[in-house]
Structure 1
């Protein structure tokens, strides 16, 4: 068990890689301490020669010292567009003269910044195929354990939800999934705080958009979607709707709800009394 994170200090062509076993879920609070405190913390962590495997990596921070750019991602970063955007904006105020960027495609983006060949070295894991009967008839669980699905066409869009929570579970069955999903109960577009992830299948543009970054999702399933293109990233629900031409601004969290979530992220602190490498 753990909350594994890699930190990389990039100094020109030199990469200094650090590792912490426990701090990924404290990342937002750690970074919010500001430049000097955070860099001191990073340099107190274990020095490693290589980045860990993606199957174990739960987050990553890249600090480009010369360009003064901070890049980050982690698994548990909020999936709400409003919270994502507000936290990054407030974090920027704690890092004056630095650029702050959430890596929406995680190590797909990270390897380009670092100039390393990382993704091609990773294993994508085994695909699980769901039966057609399951896709049609599975019971929707609570809002935190379901995937919102929109099927967009020239005449409008159909909305449903399923407990197949990863995009590859939908994509594996190819275009047959579209008719199967249309047999599920239709629902109204939910509020932002009631959605974790969503996938939008645009049958007119032949384009699939997923609100999260899932390593290998398209590489393993694209043969089943001839003529389709695919886009994914940690955009959050509202931005994913916007990217697909659907107005979801009225579904946003309230200012009070956003503030509460962002304050929580900013104030996360270690329980380990300064022993950062436990």
Structure 2
């Protein structure tokens, strides 16, 4: 775990009593019961903080992330980015919301347009969100973004299908950094990568946070990954946050039985593997 002890004292994102309900049943069901995907949860992400939202599939964590991104309208509750309500901000000025919140998704190759070069992928948010229309200026900034994610500038001319999974995810991270957002939502952003590449990407995310003071909402099912990056963790089960605390407290002295089961499922480290700053790499 990295970062200052309690960045939540300077809130950037406030999720207040968030509820998301869906209608259950199939296409032709009548009077189907409501499914509570998220049940009145609240949490805060501080300035420059990495907050982990962890839980098994179906726990409601991805639905929560979609609400934060403005992709899902909650049934009730509020999501505040600074003093702005996310739902209202999206309705009023979606561009302003996208400048302040970006996302990195699970499948790095599928989240990049295969018909576009890396340069075009990075230039798009520069043009649409920052108004950088000069091609030379956009190319220079795109080179800088690749440098930030530790990729060589000659990758600008490649297409996503020519990249490895780790390289493609670094391009996704560079694209998210392009408009200089204050918050990035990372939804299972390393789960599709092998263990060594996961460690490299986690290290990169930690370094970028130190360099840019960007905040993360890091959504994952794997506590072994989350604890290496996040300052605080909220554990979700059946739409509720059942336990919240510092990464150290959650991973060493959990109080909820569900958290204890998640920790019990974390594999015991292989003795041939050595720990590095924020993750694991083969020795």
| TM-score normalised to structure 2 length | 0.30
* Structure having the larger proportion of residues in helix: 2
| Bigger RCO (CA 8 Å, 6+ sep) | 2
| TM-score normalised to structure 1 length | 0.31
